[in-house]
Amino acid sequence: MKDFLKDWEEVSFVIFYGSQLGQAKSIAEGLVDVAEENDFKTKAFELNAIKDVNDLTKLTCPVVIVTSTTGDGEPPENADKFWRKIRKKALSPTALQSLKYTLLGLGDTNYNNFCNCGKEINRRLQGLSASTFYAPAWADDAIGLELVVDSWIENLWPALESIIRPDSNQSITTMAKTLTVPSCPAVSLKLEWLEDGSGDASTPSKVDLRNPLAPYPLIEDDPVAVKLTKARVLSRSGALKTAVELTVEFSEQSFKFEPGDAINIVCPNPINEVNQLLERLQLLGKAKRTLQLSVKEGTKGKIPVFLPATITLLDAFLYYFDIRSCPKKIFLRLLAEYTSEENEKSKLLELCSRQGSTAFEETIRFASLSLLDLLLTFPSCMPPVEALLEHLPRLIPRAYSISSSPLTNANEFTFAFNVATFSKENGRQYERLGICTGWLSQKGRSLLKKSSSGSDNIDSDLDAAMSALTIKSENEDVDSNEEIIVYRRKNQNFRLPEDIKAPIVMVGPGTGVAPFIGFIQHRAILKEKGESAGDMFLYFGCRYKAKDFLYEDELKSFENGGLTKFYPVFSRDDPQATVKYVQHRMDENKQEVIETLFNQGGYLYVCGDAKNMAKDVRDVLIKCVQSVKEVSEGEAKTLVAELATQKRYLQDIWS
């Protein structure tokens, strides 16, 4: 970790960042690049580089902080030590009175405690008498970070100009104009095509997914090879989404889990999509040739830490880069640089400009367009492959909740997922399945065929569903191998209470019910062994009972042993019904919900879609508290917040 005290005297201002998934770090590094264009010198450091809060008093230059929030309003891992230090009560109220700073917080309003890390740091800095030279801002990933980030960055430079060079004659208007379109990212990589058989002899002929060159973000455990053994479709014919459950087998010594844990699955990009991309780049003929990557002399770039320096393009795009990720504005600026037709180039420049933020949201983010979509939309765009290898994001493992208890079988677990489907519309140039769910569905169908070979016992619903979803692969090895690589994602908070007698309320519509199957199994087995378990209430929702009722048989059997009460709700079965969603059923049972959570010390678990459901559940919980406890809305919000602070309101949600 770099020591900021050694370098600050050389800079105009200092940047600190707290970043869990890389967004805040990327913004901080982008500020460093743009600062140079505006005749500022700066360097970026992790917030944890601040060894002592009092060291900030040694800075005579302004400070810019960019930080995200993770978990239930917690700081990123590279900011957690600073977080703890700045909250010490022993610090003097005037400890940082000489510090001038600004702060950009990144968050998502679909989650509780929006931008909590940034807001808490800001509040604490104010409490230590630090002053802002430019107003902090809070960017919301739910509607697009760019909507706040772009304008905040644009106006940051005049603010810095006024405090660093107060006598400067440079026009603020002129500065703003130069920042309308971001600068084109530099391309520092160069590649050399090697003859067949040349290159580093230690380079494996097959990509070793179990030994990545750099760790994945948020993943600490070692990878484990597990074997897929069973597949079944949880949804029925006519369902809008196909829900699949897969069973995984492993040695007990290699993998240990608890109900509430999840797995991160290492998956490749679709081979047919990779080939289509390489063909569009006019490189399909060189896809399997080995190339050597290096950095151009005199440049600041570097080979991505996760990418081998000797590799084939096929392996690079198949296993290492997320070719499906929605491009950021800075990446569009890169593509514009290599677009020859003027109208196409102008459109790309407009989309990546500050003025084009609305168009960017409506055109790029809404449809989650991919690199291939853009290359097919703009035929004259021909970026060099080294630019893509330098600036494409990493393909990271996908997370899925475990839906079983180790008490059922310590050598296997199950997990469930909806197979994501994306039609050819809204700018998407080709239909596709989700990267991981599509790959897993292909494996499920392959598994089914193997297990049913030579018999008439094939599950026709599963076969039909898998057949309809499967996109033909040109590489059977990628799809048919039953072994997959997983990492355990320890969910320290989203676990059953240590006290087995504590009552729990579970809210899990759709595949959000998956971890609760494990919860109920676990407690049911403990009860069979003579332990006294607390009440369990489950709220489950789906569209149609006849089509989307996942785990119907299991949940009905749990009613006879394990579940205290089960509240299913079906949103489309009765158009006249007033109770359509899980939050409506909770409101209907408000007395029971509030009694369980606030009078009996119960826990609330919410799993599923972050876009609407999680927020709606929180809103109705506040409403229930307000009604049952006869308090104001503000007091109800405080009580719900205290529930979260006590780790008794827990979420495992995704967007």
Q: What is the pLDDT of residues 563-600, one digit of tens each?
A: 999 999 999 999 888 889 999 999 999 999 999 999 99
Structural tokens at position 86? 């700045």
What residue ranges do the domains of the chain occupy? 4-178, 224-267+397-489, 271-391, 504-654
What pLDDT does residue 446 have?
85
Q: What pLDDT was estimated at residue 341?
A: 94
Q: What is the pLDDT of residues 131-190, one digit of tens each?
A: 999 999 999 887 778 888 988 998 898 889 888 887 654 443 343 344 368 888 899 999
pLDDT at 492: 67
Least confident residue range of 67-81, 430-444, 500-514? 67-81
Considering the chain, what percentage of its residues have pLDDT values greater than 70? 89
pLDDT at 456 > cutoff 50: no
| Mean pLDDT in residue range 639-651 | 91
Q: What is the pLDDT of residue 327?
A: 94
Domains 4-178 and 504-654 share a fold: yes
What pLDDT, on a 0 to 100 scale, did the predictor assign at position 562?
Answer: 82
Provide mean pLDDT across the span 334-354: 92
Q: pLDDT of 591-637, one tens digit each?
A: 999 999 999 999 999 999 877 898 899 999 999 999 999 999 999 99
Q: Could you tell me which CATH number the domain at 4-178 has?
A: 3.40.50.360
Residue scoring higher pLDDT (177 or 368): 368
Q: How far is the C-alpha of 247 from the C-alpha of 143, rounded, in Å?
A: 36
Cα–Cα distance between 68 and 121 in angstroms, integer?
Answer: 11
* pLDDT at residue 226, rounded to an integer: 93
* pLDDT at residue 466 greater than cutoff 80: no
For the chain, what percent of residues have pLDDT higher than 90? 62
Mean pLDDT confidence for 447-458: 59
pTM: 0.78
Nearest CA to 532 out of 521, 523, 544 is that of 523
Predicted confidence at residue 623, as pLDDT, reads 96
Strand segments (E) across 86-172: 100-107, 131-132, 137-140
CA distance 232 to 246: 7
Q: Are strands 565-570 and 536-542 parallel, antiparallel or unpaired?
A: parallel
β-sheet bridge partners, residue 574: none
Q: Chain-wide mean pLDDT for the chain?
A: 87
- 123 — phi, psi (to 5°)? -60, -40
Q: Under a CB-based contact definition with an 8 Å cutoff, are residues 158 and 175 in contact?
A: yes
CA–CA gap between residue 138 and residue 153 (Å, rounded): 12
Q: What pLDDT score does 496 carry?
A: 96
d(CA 563, CA 502): 14
Q: What confidence tier does 467 reach under pLDDT thresholds 50, 70, 90? A: low
Angstrom CA distances, 301 to 295, 305, 387, 415, stand at 7, 11, 11, 40
Between vectors from CA 468 to CA 464 and to CA 469, what angle results, nearest 5°?
120
- In this predicted model, what pLDDT tens digit does every residue of 280-339 receive, in sequence order? 999 999 999 999 999 999 888 889 999 999 999 999 999 999 999 999 999 999 999 999
User: What pLDDT score was predicted for residue 208?
Assistant: 75
CATH topology classification for 224-267+397-489:
Elongation Factor Tu (Ef-tu); domain 3 (2.40.30)
Determine the pLDDT at residue 400: 94
Q: For residues 120-158, b (16+ Cβ closer than 10 Å) or e, as one string?
A: bbbebbeebebebbbebbbbbbeebbbebbbebbbbbbb
The pLDDT assigned to 272 comes to: 95
Look up tokens 């491009």; give the residue.
327
In tens, the pLDDT along 20-44 reads: 888 899 899 889 878 876 778 899 9
Q: Which helix (H) or strand (E) holds 599?
A: none
pLDDT tens track for 478-522 = 555 688 999 987 666 799 999 999 999 999 999 999 999 999 999
In the chain, the N- to C-terminal Cα span, in Å, equals 32
- Contacts of residue 157, defined as CB under 8 A and 6 or more positions apart, other chains included, come to 34, 38, 40, 175, 176, 179
Average pLDDT over residues 428-455: 84
Q: Which of 245, 231, 238, 263 is nearest to 551 (CA)?
A: 245
C-alpha distance from residue 328 to each of 27, 302, 397, 588 (Å): 11, 20, 20, 43
Mean pLDDT of 87-93: 90
Q: Which CATH number fits domain 504-654: 1.10.287.130, 3.20.20.70, 3.30.479.10, 3.40.50.80?
A: 3.40.50.80
Of 417, 405, 409, which is closest to residue 441 (Cα–Cα)? 417
Q: 601: closest CA among 648, 633, 641, 645?
A: 648
Over residues 462-480, the mean pLDDT reads 49
CATH 1.20.990.10, domain 271-391, yes or no: yes
